[in-house]
Amino acid sequence: MESKKVSKIGVLTSGGDAPGMNAAIRAVIRTSIYHGLEAFGIMRGYSGMIDDDIFKMESRSVANIIQRGGTILKTARSKEFLEYEGRKKAYENLKKRGIDGLVIIGGDGSFKGAQKFSNEFDIPCIGLPGTIDKDIAGSDFTIGFDTAVNTAVEAIDKIRDTADAHDRLFIVEVMGRDAGYIALHSGIATGAENILIPETKTDIEDLIESLTEKERRQKLVNLVVVAEGDEFGGGNEIAAIIKRRIPSADTRVCILGHIQRGGSPTCLDRLIASRMGFHAVECLINGKHNVMVGIVNNKMHYTPLDNAVKAKQKIPEDWFRIAKILAS
């Protein structure tokens, strides 16, 4: 896209909420104002663009939000934005305010919408990876992942205490419909005996054999961490199989659910969100348009939106080996 001068920037959060989104919003607004640009908040993602729920923001608009979970701009998924007429309506609302650059904080679905919108209406867009799943290629971390996995680790540590007190087998289900990063990282960090994720084929016979062998060794505390998107289902489905195959095991299920989405963001999430938000504005000013801002090896990394929506973050093979060997 031909570079053009940006004077008014809009920011929105789209898709699932993630801790650290507020820190990113704060960085976008304050960096814009520092450079003499006008900044606008767009409520409820693309729905707010269509409904004209857009307002000017000042530096004080983002005071005292860096430590808050969720998003002050709210978030939603918009079916209307999937249609050309919806996107045209959104563009007209931006045009009448003179907004000529957008920062979209969200996941790959949000980036697909941004990519299409930018191509149709020549509005430069910058994507910031905001998702607890860490499933977007082009960044070592996504905004919200570190907080979500630490929430899971804290919960699983507490579950281990009660498992130890009662000699129980606990099946802990964490979020991850299509990606197993939360399960893998929290499982390794808490010493889980088995970790089940969507990226690998679940061998039920291997799981049963492993748990049976541990029971024979009188290993009294057993934890199985399962991502909700595992091919055999989540915690309840896995527990039902284990109860049928190993009836002697005192089996319990704990589904962590949406607790992983909320809460005050960790230091890491605040820092990466602040860096990404700052560089998103710098990209728009410097004519680097239609990219996702990420961090790779602690350096800023820019992935064209076209590539960001096609590629998924793959789990390195050595993570699987680490998980298997350390659980033995």
Q: Which residue has the tokens 């979020």?
A: 175
Distance CA 180, CA 316 (A): 12
CB-neighbour burial class of residue 121 (10 A; exposed 0-12, middle 13-18, buried 19+): middle
Angle formed at CA 215 by CA 212 and CA 221, multiple of 5 degrees: 120
If phi > 0 it is left, if psi is from -120 to 50 it is alpha, else beta; for residue 246 that is: beta
Q: 253 forms bridges with which residues in the sheet?
A: 171
Other Cβ atoms less than 10 A from the Cβ of 178: the count is 13
Residues whose CB falls within 8 Å of the CB of residue 182, separated by 6 or more in sequence, listed in order? 132, 133, 134, 145, 148, 149, 152, 174, 175, 176, 227, 260
Write down the H helix ranges in the chain: 21-34, 45-51, 84-97, 108-121, 145-166, 181-189, 204-216, 235-245, 267-286, 305-308, 317-326
**Of 158, 94, 153, residue with least CA distance to 120:** 94
Quick one: tokens of 307? 């590539």
| 140: DSSP letter | S
Distance CA 222, CA 171 (A): 9
> Phi and psi of 143, rounded to 5°?
-60, 120
Active-site residues, by number, are 133
The helix/strand/coil state of 136 is strand
